[in-house]
Amino acid sequence: MNGSVQQLRHLSFEECLQRDGVCLRRDAIHTVQINLGRLCNQSCQHCHINAGPQRTEIMSRETMMLAIELVQLTGAHTVDITGGAPEMNPNFRWFVQQMNSDRRHVIVRSNLTVLLEEGNEDLPEFLARRQVEIIASLPCYTEENVDKQRGASTFTRSLQALRTLNALGYGKNDPALSLSLVYNPDGPALPPAQEQLEIDYKRILGEQYGIAFNRLLTITNSPIGRFASGLKKNNEYAGYCMLLEKAFNPATLQNVMCKEQISISWGGFLYDCDFNQALGYALGNGRPFRLGELSAREIAANLLDHEIKVGPHCFACTAGAGSSCQGTLQR
């Protein structure tokens, strides 16, 4: 990397890559992230896919079967299940069982409160029996900030779900029952240092509420979807985008998640990442790659050494210490 942050300011993301002589290409597929739909029991302010209770888009079992075939062909060792609230897909448990049966590592991204919904009372135990890793949203350790971002009573209900998970062994000493929490800034700002914030989270949640967890992931809000709409409403969109551009860090490019991951939408389309999925930047060679329209084998053969589609939103992943679905890129 030979370009400085100062030199790269005010350039497009593509120009930043060119200045550093970087061409982002996928060199492996370690993780397949699968979005089971946009239906959710919450309508969070920072949501980049505008998920909510009124959304009807969910992945069918037929598409799930095609996704399973593609995962097997890629050789990916991790399946990252997301949404919306993926637990609200009626085929969620079946899908987890199928992915779990061939000993792949399965991650479920949960908003926690969905675990308290009617019919989900035994869902934490279901996940624990299958040693599913849980990455759970808790954007702050204070009730006021969480409820402001995610809705009234969300903090109290999230703590209730976390206590249930802790009682099953999640977040304790069993490495097979990993529980991570996710922090998102409440507004147009970069997240603080992940390591120090994790210390604060563990101290406050432990001392005040008796909650334990394994690690904290800090994720920079991408200026798309509902979060972008809120920024524009408050006349903060341009300023936030400039903040991300000025904080561009070339050193994060070697660790961006799209180099080792692909994303599958609820409708079976393939993307470089979840953010490209939200923007409709589908993978393809003249036509979008979609499960069922092309064979899984044909799609799998075209995923490696594929130039990644980038845009202004990519500054969110490369600002400061960097951001990915697994938290900070530079530790």
Q: Among 76, 78, 95, which Cα is nearest to 36's? A: 95
CATH of the domain spanning 28-235+258-297: 3.20.20.70
What's the pLDDT score for residue 73?
95
Rounded mean pLDDT for each run of 10 residues along the chain, 331 residues in total: 46 92 92 94 74 88 97 95 94 96 92 94 97 95 88 93 98 95 92 95 97 96 89 94 95 93 96 93 91 94 90 95 88 58
Q: Residue 270: which H helix or E strand, with range?
A: strand 270-271
Domain spans of the chain? 28-235+258-297
What does the alpha-carbon distance between residue 259 and residue 268 come to, in Å, rounded to a whole number?
20
pLDDT of res. 3: 44
Q: How much is the pLDDT for 92?
A: 97
**Which helix (H) or strand (E) element contains residue 166?**
helix 154-167
Pick the closest to residue 31 from 88, 87, 3, 71 (CA basis).
71
Return the pLDDT at 263: 97
Using CA atoms, how far residue 198 sits from 35, 166, 211, 220, 287, in Å, is 27, 17, 13, 15, 43
Per-residue pLDDT, 308: 93
CA angle 7, 9, 10 (to 5 degrees): 130
